[in-house]
Amino acid sequence: EDQVTQSPEALRLQEGESSSLNCSYTVSGLRGLFWYRQDPGKGPEFLFTLYSAGEEKEKERLKATLTKKESFLHITAPKPEDSATYLCAVQATNNNDMRFGAGTRLTVKP
């Protein structure tokens, strides 16, 4: 069965303090790994898709990387507006649905 585990559950950073969020996955065959951002009371917002090990994507202060067993979301010099829950999800090659992790709740203090 496909599984996604995110760590840590919660992370508190000072503004400017870089860190990484982890997403470990097991899937029969990976079609894609997705990162989303979710603000309180809103729906998830798409950030990145990674398709193969070694791939990297960047957007502003965020950089996502992928290996055969896990993905990292690196946050460089975060700002308070980066505070949100970050969700990871995987899609397997043998079906059309997506399996989500429970998320990492990031708080960035000024």
Partner 1 sequence: NAGVTQTPKFQVLKTGQSMTLQCAQDMNHNSMYWYRQDPGMGLRLIYYSASEGTTDKGEVPNGYNVSRLNKREFSLRLESAAPSQTSVYFCASSHIAREQYFGPGTRLTVT
Q: Where on the chain is the footprint of partner 1 (CB under 8 A)? A: 4, 31-32, 34, 36, 41-46, 49, 87, 89, 91, 96-103
Query: In whole angstroms, how close is the CB of 66 to partner 1 at the nearest point?
Result: 15
Of residues 6 and 65, the one with the C-beta less far from partner 1? 6
CB of 105 to partner 1, least distance (A): 11
**Tokens encoding 100:** 């989500």
3-state helix/strand/coil string of 90-109: EEECCCCCCEECCCEEEEEE
Tokens 């559950």 found at: 9
Nearer to partner 1, 78 or 101 (CB): 101
d(CA 48, CA 15): 23
38 contacts 84 by C-beta, under 8 angstroms: yes
Nearer to partner 1, 14 or 60 (CB): 60
Least spacing, CB of residue 9 vs partner 1, in Å: 8
